[in-house]
Amino acid sequence: MFDVLIIGGGVSGCCIARELSKRTWKVGLLEAEPDICEGTSKANSGIAHAGFDAKPGTLMAKLNVRGNALLEELAPKLDIPLKRNGALVLCFEEEGLPKLQELYDRGVINGVKNLKLLSGKEARELEPSISPEVKGALYAGDSGIVCPFGLTIAMAENAAENGVEFFRGYRVTGVEQGDNGIYRVSCDNGLVLETKVVINAAGVYSDRIHNMLPEKEGHMTMEIHPRKGEYCLYDKQAGNLVQHTIFQLPGAYGKGTLVTPTVHGNLLIGPTAEDVPEKNAVATTRAGVDKLLLNASRSVDKLPPTKQVITSFAGLRAHHADHDFIIEESAGYPGFIDVAGIESPGLTSAPAIGEYVAELVQEILPAALKENFKEVRKGIVTLEGKTLEEKKTIVSENPAYANIICRCESISEGEILAAIHRPVGATTLDGVKRRVRAGMGRCQGGFCSPKVVEILARELGIPVEEVRKSGEASVIIYGGVK
Amino acid sequence: MIRKSLVIIGGGPAGMAAALGAVENGLAPDEILILERDKRLGGILNQCIHNGFGLHTFKEELTGPEYAARYEAQIKAKKISYKLGTMVMSIRDGEEKEIIAMNGQEGILEIYAKAVILAMGCRERPRGALNIPGYRPAGIFSAGTAQYYVNMEGKLPGKEVVILGSGDIGLIMAHRMTLEGAKVKAVAELMPYSGGLKRNIVQCLQDFDIPLLLSHTVVDIHGKERVEGVTIAKVDEKSAPIPGTEKYYSCDTLLLSCGLIPENELSLGCGITLSPVTGGPVVNESLETNIPGVFACGNVLHVHDLVDFVSGEAKEAGERSAEYVRNLSAPEAEEGIPVLAENGVRYTVPATIRTQHMKESQTIRFRVGKEYRGVKVCVYLDNTLLRSIPKRTMAPGEMEKVVLLKKDLADRNVKSIRITVEE
């Protein structure tokens, strides 16, 4: 019997897990995919939003600002890649300037610090590669960039170190409440777990989980609409185009496209916004990418050539018609907590969502703080950014670090072994990629993926035919040659 | 710390031939060090088990591993030193060239050299750079990755295959996968002509009735976890897909053979100027980059069709590097004469020629931008026609060359050498 079961191993679920692991609850986390960070959390802008965008008074506004502050505090403790690069919201027409002022005012009400309205000239002085058309800009000093995988995985690892049990590859097929108030959560592989509290953090699928409990007063049917966003990621050679995250004022050109450096030094443009019928419809489209390139070229003077794009991808926002986070205990089902409608700024808000949910659980099922909670998590040792002397020490302590597997990102066997053998370790090719960036460079795994597959098979003790890219059906090899 | 006269980065066909060229030109074998990141010498040849290598060099048809083995045997016979499993992390120019490398046995190595030869080869263009829309399932491989799985690991990466791009590796893999029992349904090529060698189109596709769809491309990839199919459409002259021509092909694998990119991250890191056309270093007649004492050859310089030409070019780079080491104290030579690629010629290697350093004959290699029939390649010294070579056909997939003689330039104050295609 669990005290709390979290359904969903995205950034919300993992942040909640880490926060809950501070107290004496017995906590489990169920993830449908073979790894955590497989849904919305893996494909988004990777921005630590300052918080001027959300409507004042909403939960979204509150958790955005709190989440951003928490990120700052947690990044060094959990080794989360975070950089405060600041953001600019560009306005291209004189008529748009009052809207910039509106954004500024909203930010002030939301409690955002370090906001400043700039003239076009001032904005260009700060960020020379933006378009000469810019008439004015809002500067947000508290905006940052964060690695969405790094954040989610750090939270999960720390949660696991503090006793949270992770069940990956367990798709929830049913949630029911017994007469004693205890919930029974069943999975597609036959596992049934009992728990006092259920946290529904299933992202775009959170409506399905919610609706598994029969409708009654205080528990109405929920609908989450997947809204697709497409992105293009450029080679690191293009990574220095801008220093700040460049937004556009939403206006005649539709919802703006951002242009931003990533925390690992690439350039990212995106997202589009398109409602899609399916909850896994993450295909990119020619029209979408063309639109992105056009929109982004409005922000910056000279967009790098498209041949420097190393990959395009799409993610789904878990959109709810109210456009606010829905984080509450169901009035009809005590002990069932929805964490739904977590769309942008969900990544930024996640640490605050964790805190907020933990408070809700504490009201339902009070528990004491653990004495031995480990609040510090060390990330995987990397060679990147180290001096020659430091590299020598790392390599002499662990010679596997001298065996480079991914040439593009200079990722060694040492890093890949760590990714596999850590708590909540990688079991798939994508899992390795998200933990240590092997295959994330300009050749996109052409050279290293066969080697990573081989290492995964060896370390997990399975045949290479059973190594997967991500999901159950994503086999890579079909057996031997004739 | 290691000190050598010459460090060669890459132990593939280019690196090995360069080392032998340097020895032939008087450099002591123990003054040379080859750094190879793989477990064996030979580079990509090790996975090219088909034959057709060596017709120019050895006057016989060898497989890739056989061709590599002949060079490896010479490297060993001459006692040229090399390190395997060794990855170069950086090159820095200075009084000496500083190379930081590492391997599992020795850890981090600091190596100093008078001259460096870049011979890192190339890599394949990935899906992202091709902007193919659709899902991102397992089952999308570059043709070379599939070749590695089949030839090196003995594993089959797919059963029903569509290939995008008709570069040589794609054509060879169409053949190879078919022999291993896979069904290759089509090869789609964006351009109205194939980028591969004619002999490969015949032997790898036509002999197996595999359709080559020219002016076609993949416009959608289906399958959320593993590839389930692709949509192929015809394209117009601007390479834009023509609506209404889409056709669905069910398959579990998409192989990409859409061009090769010289692997020049190390070169960029040490300040070497690259050509926007080839993606390789801009070099003079000695195959020397803008950094004196740093030479380049093989596919890191410009992508070749035949390994025999790589070996030839690399041998020359090796000879030139030996000369450089010998004449280190000699005064700087004069500015080079630019070699200009004009009217249909996309680029030339070399890009400049210093007459002082020119040998009796100088080969200029180049590629054209489209298919030609019944034209001439003309060489001009400034505006004076020096030579005109009739060409029955020329195609972007086949590297061309012209030869310039030292006496052609003697006693003439030439400002530019121009290579053009004319009717």
Which tens digit of pLDDT belongs to each residue from A328-345?
Answer: 999 999 999 999 999 999
- CATH 1.10.10.1100 segments of chain A: 388-466
Cα separations (Å) of B140 from B144, B254, B401?
Answer: 12, 5, 36
- Does the beta carbon of A97 lie under 8 angstroms from any beta carbon of chain B? no
Q: Which chain B residue lies closest to A408 (C-alpha atoms)?
A: B265
At residue A252, does pLDDT exceed 60? no
Of B145, B180, B265, the CB nearest to A482: B180
Residue B144 with chain A: CB contacts under 8 Å = 446
Residue A396 with chain B: CB contacts under 8 Å = 107
Q: Which residue has the tokens 């700040």?
A: A244
Best to test chain A binding among B83, B190, B224, B254 (most A CBs inside 10 Å): B224
CATH 3.50.50.60 holds for A87-141+225-317: no
Please indicate whether, in this complex, the C-beta atoms of A396 and B135 are within 8 angstroms of each other.
no
Minimal CA separation from A449 to chain B, in Å:
8
Q: Rounded to two decimals, what is the model's pTM?
A: 0.94
At residue B411, does pLDDT exceed 90? no
Please indicate whether, in this complex, the C-beta atoms of B220 and A391 are within 8 angstroms of each other.
no
Minimal CA separation from B372 to chain A, in Å:
26
For chain A positions 106-125, those within 8 Å of chain B (CB to CB) are: none
Instruction: For chain B, give percent helix, strand, coil, nearest 5.
Output: 25, 35, 40
Minimal CA separation from A258 to chain B, in Å:
19
Residue range A367-388: average pLDDT? 95
- Tell me the residue ranges of DSSP E strands in A255-341: 258-261, 267-270, 274-275, 309-319, 326-329, 336-340
Tell me if A439 sits within 8 A of A452, measured CB to CB: yes
Please indicate whether, in this complex, the C-beta atoms of A450 and B241 are within 8 angstroms of each other.
no
**Residue A25 buriedness (CB in 10 A; 0-12 / 13-18 / 19+):** buried
Of B126, B224, B241, the CB nearest to A443: B126
Residue A288 with chain B: CB contacts under 8 Å = 133
Best to test chain B binding among A240, A443, A470, A472 (most B CBs inside 10 Å): A443
Q: Which chain B residue lies closest to A399 (C-alpha atoms)?
A: B104
- Does the beta carbon of A391 lie under 8 angstroms from any beta carbon of chain B? yes
More confidently predicted of B327 and A5? A5
Phi (first) and psi of residue B330, to 5 degrees:
-65, 150
Residue B127 with chain A: CB contacts under 8 Å = 311, 444
Of B103, B123, B148, the CB nearest to A402: B103
Minimal CA separation from B393 to chain A, in Å:
29
- Which domains occur in chain B, in start order? 1-124+259-330 (3.50.50.60), 126-258 (3.50.50.60), 333-423 (2.60.40)
Q: What is the pLDDT confidence band of residue A251, given thresholds at 50, 70 and 90?
A: low
Residue range B145-166: average pLDDT? 96
Residue range B260-280: average pLDDT? 95
Q: What is the pLDDT confidence band of residue B126, given thresholds at 50, 70 and 90?
A: confident
Three-class SS state of B71: helix
Q: Is the ipTM of this complex over 0.85?
A: yes
Q: What is the third-level CATH fold of A388-466?
A: Arc Repressor Mutant, subunit A (1.10.10)
In angstroms, the CA A166 to CA A387 distance is 36
Establish whether A319 is a catalytic residue.
Answer: no
- Two structure tokens written together for A334: 């005590």
Q: How many percent of chain A have pLDDT more than 70?
A: 99
At residue A209, does pLDDT exceed 90? yes
Cα separations (Å) of A278 from A34, A224, A274, A346?
Answer: 20, 11, 12, 21
Residue B136 with chain A: CB contacts under 8 Å = 282, 284, 311, 313
**Residue B76 buriedness (CB in 10 A; 0-12 / 13-18 / 19+):** exposed
The three-point CA angle B169-B174-B177 to 5° equals: 110
Q: What is the third-level CATH fold of A2-41+149-222+322-364?
A: FAD/NAD(P)-binding domain (3.50.50)
Cis preceding-peptide flag for A271 (omega within 30 of 0): yes
Phi (first) and psi of residue B62, to 5 degrees:
-120, 160
Which element (helix H / strand E) includes B213? strand B212-214
Q: Is the dihedral of CA A292, A297, A300, A304 positive or negative?
A: positive
Of B87, B124, B145, the CB nearest to A449: B145
For chain A positions 223-282, those within 8 Å of chain B (CB to CB) are: 233, 237, 280, 282
Q: Which of A210-214, A288-292, B304-308, B407-411 has the lowest mean pLDDT?
A: B407-411
- Two structure tokens written together for A291: 């639109």
Residue range A75-82: average pLDDT? 97
State residue B333's pLDDT score.
Answer: 63
- Does the beta carbon of A455 lie under 8 angstroms from any beta carbon of chain B? no
Please indicate whether, in this complex, the C-beta atoms of A402 and B136 are within 8 angstroms of each other.
no
List Cβ<8 Å contacts ≥24 apart for A352-355.
Answer: A352/A62, A352/A63, A352/A64, A352/A66, A352/A67, A352/A70, A353/A12, A353/A15, A353/A16, A353/A63, A353/A67, A353/A325, A353/A327, A354/A12, A354/A15, A354/A16, A354/A17, A354/A18, A354/A19, A354/A20, A354/A155, A355/A19, A355/A66, A355/A70
At residue B90, does pLDDT exceed 60? yes
At residue A254, does pLDDT exceed 60? no
Residue B178 with chain A: CB contacts under 8 Å = none
Please indicate whether, in this complex, the C-beta atoms of B107 and A284 are within 8 angstroms of each other.
no
Q: What is the pLDDT confidence band of residue A443, given thresholds at 50, 70 and 90?
A: confident
The three-point CA angle A136-A137-A138 to 5° equals: 145
- Tell me the residue ranges of DSSP E strands in A256-295: 258-261, 267-270, 274-275
State residue B331's pLDDT score.
Answer: 65
- CATH 3.50.50.60 segments of chain A: 2-41+149-222+322-364
Residue B99 with chain A: CB contacts under 8 Å = none
Q: Which chain B residue lies closest to A310 (C-alpha atoms)?
A: B128
In angstroms, the CA B329 to CA B327 distance is 5
Residue B102 with chain A: CB contacts under 8 Å = 391, 395, 402, 404
Minimal CA separation from B163 to chain A, in Å:
16
State residue B196's pLDDT score.
Answer: 85
Q: How many percent of chain B have pLDDT more than 90?
A: 90
Q: What is the pLDDT confidence band of residue A256, given thresholds at 50, 70 and 90?
A: confident
Three-class SS state of B39: coil
